[in-house]
Amino acid sequence: MVNRPIMLNRIVSLAVALALPLGAAVAPVQAEARFDDNEKQEIRKIVRDYLIKNPEVIVEAIQEMRRRDEAAKEAATEKAIAENRDALLRNAADPVGGNRKGTATVVEFFDYNCGWCKRAYPHMLAAAKADGNVRIVFKEYPILAPSSRLAARAALAAARQGKYREMHDRLMRHRGALNEAKIMAVAAQAGLDIPKLKADMAAREIESAIDANLQLAERLGIRGTPAFVIGGKVIPGMMRARQYPAELARARKECGTRNATVC
């Protein structure tokens, strides 16, 4: 026969011990955790009865677990952004648009075969224009198809002719899957010297820039496109123009606390 009051006291003692710092808890836990089989069975019954009478506790526990997981992910992302701030904001290989002296920066990771990237693009431009003080960093992040990397190489090579934005805009407006012929047709429409473009596309520096973006995205926990980094936050998925003001205000506030020269 299980002595229920004594067992409950032991359960309470165990719970208190678990709430103590690790070093202080070791001895009490070891002492109180030695329940025999009958006591373990009784504990299971007490827990089961309690949960049946109070099912909301399960929901609360799941919600708290999710909240803690999200908080841990956000903290890890903020740390990763801080550790990679130069790679995000000051990489000379990245094309920059908007107001180059802007007080807030939007970093976009995108793929030219990504339909959501193409939907998000005009929203980003409209938000930057409405604000007037936003710097845009374009991160070529080709992950969806082999032609994505080909298009990224072409866009970065176009920068060597001073026509990155012309090429980028046309690739973003292109509908349907890309291939080499379509990419070259877009380049011709952008007024690019095609033989020079093809030669520049083979440059090791361009391949290295793309590889660096892929590695950076991995460090930041970015797995898809589009993805935006604004201040100390990664925002996955499409952003609409109406979302930008609050995010930019947050980023500027964060920047002020760091006394940064580029935000």
- Can you name the CATH fold of 85-258? Glutaredoxin (3.40.30)
pTM: 0.75
Q: What is the pLDDT along the chain (263 residues), one digit of tens a residue?
A: 555 555 555 554 544 444 444 444 444 445 445 778 888 888 888 888 887 888 887 788 788 888 887 777 777 788 999 999 999 999 999 999 999 999 999 999 999 999 999 999 999 999 999 999 999 999 999 999 999 999 999 999 999 999 999 999 999 999 999 999 999 999 999 999 999 999 999 999 999 999 999 999 999 999 999 999 999 999 999 999 999 999 999 999 988 776 555 57
Complete edge-to-edge strand list for the sheet that includes strand 96-98: 96-98, 134-140, 104-110, 227-230, 233-236
pLDDT at position 186, please? 98
Q: What is the pLDDT of residues 91-135, one digit of tens each?
A: 999 999 999 999 999 999 999 999 999 999 999 999 999 999 999
| In the chain, where the domains are located | 4-83, 85-258
